[in-house]
Amino acid sequence: MKNRTLGSIFIVAGTTIGAGMLAMPLAAAGVGFSVTLGLLIGLWALMCYTALLLLEVYQHVPADTGLGSLAKRYLGRYGQWLTGFSMMFLMYALTAAYISGAGELLASSINNWLGATLSPAAGVLLFTFV
């Protein structure tokens, strides 16, 4: 049980950190370092708070209860639907961030290694289909 829990923690942390590192330079380029640092600290505090709230809820349910079941139990049918939609939106956003970042890196690498001129959009398409 401990190995599964620790592995799950590392998967979520790696996915979150990885997608953020791909998207952060482009998203933060226009606002500056101090604003970006303030936003990062504020979002960190918000995520810690919500994680502690979720931890509190998980203490009062069986260990095999999923997020959808929690939402249905405490928020009703609409809350379960909203939670499912939010998780689906998160997965699509992470997929888009990875495809965009990796496609641009792929195009840049091909341009440097082969001397070709591959646009970032073509790199995204190549990464997606391969």
Residues 6+ apart with CB under 8 A from 61: 69, 70, 73
Backbone angles phi, psi at 118, to 5 degrees: -105, 125
Number of helical (H) and strand (E) elements in the chain, helices listed first: 4, 0
pLDDT digits (tens, 9 = 90+) for 94-116: 888 888 888 888 898 888 898 88
Residues 6+ apart with CB under 8 A from 101: 19, 22, 23
pLDDT digits (tens, 9 = 90+) for 19-50: 666 667 767 778 888 888 898 899 889 989 99
CA distances for 48 relative to 19, 37, 42, 54, 89, angstroms: 18, 16, 10, 10, 21
Segment among 9-13, 31-35, 58-62, 87-91 with least mean pLDDT: 9-13
